[in-house]
Amino acid sequence: MAPKPGLQIGRILGIPIYLHPSWIIIFVLITLSLRLQYSQQHPLWSPTQHWTAGILTSLLFFSSVVFHELSHSKVALHYKIPVLSITLFVFGGIARIGKEPGSAKQEFNIAVAGPLASYFLAIVFYGVAKMFPFSEMVGALAIWLAGVNAGLATFNLVPGFPLDGGRIFRAIVWGVTKNYVRATKIAGASGKLIAYGMIVFGAWYAMQGQWAPGLWLAFIGWFLLTAAQESVAQVAIREALAGLSAGDVMAHEVPTVGGSLTLEDYGAEVLRTGRRCHLVLTDDRMVGMMNVHRLNAMPREEWAITSVQAAMIPREQVLIATADEPLLGLLERLLAADINQMPVVAGTGDGGTHVVGMVSRDSILRVIQTRSELNHLPTS
């Protein structure tokens, strides 16, 4: 559900900051409503001042959001957890971290840093507002930013995953029960409850005539609902794959083809057997991997004059797994590289390796599905 990065606008602490296209919507809405608010509160300002104050406040608001995300990131980096990116999008900001926190304490500290940073900004802006009269631009701007940062911090502390408060809640349950999976399920359930509450309340509020804030709340609720469901699904996958390795699910029968075969003949082989992926052997040694995807990438008229060896993925580019590799990490590697199959190799004892099987996305997904249908897993 996390948005894909859009335009990169800079880099702070080594973390690239992106603007997702959907951010434009919220930036324009906030700027317009601020301009309107300033023109009502400060009729003596010129129209240029209303616009300037509106745009400036809006930019400072989004800088505050980046500051909030940077605070999460700073703590994550302190625990050697890589931060891949920070993205501003229509519902705010997201810091994408490279892996899950290693302990309940780490998760707690990473999560709590964001709201603390926003409260800190609220105090700073409130201090600025005290120093300047409200009739001046700086004063008006600072008091709005103080309020909105305090609101942002408080909203984020609502204990529904994936909000910061939900993460804090998960960290506490995790710390108490020592069970990450159960903690995620509980925090995810409270996240869903809160999301449904926001959708229902937002819809009710919209029907009272408060269309914009009501619908907005409902949309945020819907976004949170999807995110909560996704994180629970992820943890279910983790649970389903726990303790399994590549050797458990691999197919032992590995289809092979000779490197000198023409693509024409390879195409016929694929059609005949329905197998989509083959190891390419020359003199009994694996020299590469061939699949339907590579076949389709070659122009049809060249199939008769091109060998499999010329079109295949060469040995050194083929990602391989070992039989004892944990399945969860393997699935992540498959997804990250956007490939469907990986050969599984074992050492031959004399320093060489040979392929003992083939593991595919399908076979891993089948395990997840089967295990989720079994209600009574042996519990650890």
Give me the torsion for CA of 151, 152, 154, 159, rounded to 10°: 140
> Nearest residue to Zn ion, using CB?
114
Closest CB 119 distance from Zn ion, rounded Å: 12
Closest CB 167 distance from Zn ion, rounded Å: 8
Tokens of 55: 């745009």
The piece of 113-121, 137-145, 240-248, 319-327 that touches Zn ion (CB under 5 A) is 113-121
The answer to the question of residue 114 lying near Zn ion (CB under 5 A) is yes
Give 101 or 114: the residue with its C-beta nearer to Zn ion. 114
Contacts of Zn ion in 143-172 (CB under 5 A): 164
Closest CB 125 distance from Zn ion, rounded Å: 18
Give 111 or 250: the residue with its C-beta nearer to Zn ion. 111
Give 111 or 367: the residue with its C-beta nearer to Zn ion. 111
Number of residues that bind Zn ion (CB under 5 A): 2
Closest CB 95 distance from Zn ion, rounded Å: 8
* Closest listed residue to residue 61, CA positions, set 192, 152, 162: 152
Half-sphere exposure of 215 (CA within 13 A, CB side): 4
Half-sphere exposure of 296 (CA within 13 A, CB side): 6
Please state, in angstroms and rounded to a whole number, the distance separating the CA atoms of residues 254 and 292. 16
What beta strand segments (E) does the chain contain?
Answer: 7-12, 15-19, 83-89, 92-97, 256-258, 277-282, 285-291, 313-314, 321-322, 341-347, 353-360
Tokens of 159: 């204990």
Give 31 or 64: the residue with its C-beta nearer to Zn ion. 64
Give 64 or 341: the residue with its C-beta nearer to Zn ion. 64
Please state, in angstroms and rounded to a whole number, the distance separating the CA atoms of residues 303 and 291. 14
If one counts every other C-beta atom within 10 angstroms of the C-beta of residue 350, the result is 5
The piece of 108-116, 244-252, 267-275, 340-348 that touches Zn ion (CB under 5 A) is 108-116
Closest CB 82 distance from Zn ion, rounded Å: 18
Closest CB 228 distance from Zn ion, rounded Å: 15
Q: Which residues bind Zn ion (CB under 5 A)?
A: 114, 164
